[in-house]
Structures are given as structure tokens and as C-alpha cells.
């Protein structure tokens, strides 16, 4: 694994390791393969209700 030093996102004078592009792509693919089945799982109805509550409150107020 190569590590490059990226001063664009770091504070001046701070050495912050950043993964190279090839490693980021490989890690991204591995994470996608690992989490894709989880994303496809249905959402718990109670959680869905909580996520929609602000929209319902805004619609009722407006």
C-alpha cells in the first residue's frame, strides 16, 4: 500500500497520510461488496415511521 502526503486537506505543517487512488478504489469496491446486501434489506417499519415524522409534521403545519 502506498501512502502519499496530501497537504490540500491538512493543516499547514501537519503530515496526514492519505491512501493512493488505487488503494481507495480497491477499498471502495470491497466495502460496497460487503455492505450491498445490508442496503437491500427492508427498513424496519418503526424506523421508517421515525424518518418520515418530520415530513408529516411539516405537511401538517403548512
How far, in Å, CA of 20 to CA of 16, rounded?
A: 13
Domain that holds residue 42: 3-61
The pTM for the full model equals 0.44
Q: Which tens digits make up the pLDDT trace of 11-24?
A: 555 677 888 999 99
Counted domains in the chain: 1
3-state secondary structure of 18: strand
Q: Which tens digits make up the pLDDT trace of 3-61?
A: 554 555 555 556 778 889 999 999 999 999 999 999 889 989 999 999 999 998 888 88
What pLDDT score does 53 carry?
A: 94
What pLDDT score does 24 carry?
A: 94
29, 23 contact by CB (below 8 A): no
Strand partners, 3: 19
3, 17 contact by CB (below 8 A): yes
Amino acid at each position: 500500500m502506498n501512502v502519499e502526503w496530501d497537504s490540500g486537506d491538512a493543516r499547514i505543517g501537519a503530515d496526514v497520510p492519505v491512501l493512493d487512488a488505487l488503494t481507495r478504489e480497491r477499498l471502495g469496491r470491497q466495502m460496497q461488496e460487503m455492505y450491498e446486501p445490508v442496503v437491500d434489506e427492508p427498513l424496519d417499519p418503526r424506523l421508517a415511521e421515525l424518518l418520515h415524522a418530520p415530513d408529516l409534521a411539516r405537511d401538517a403545519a403548512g
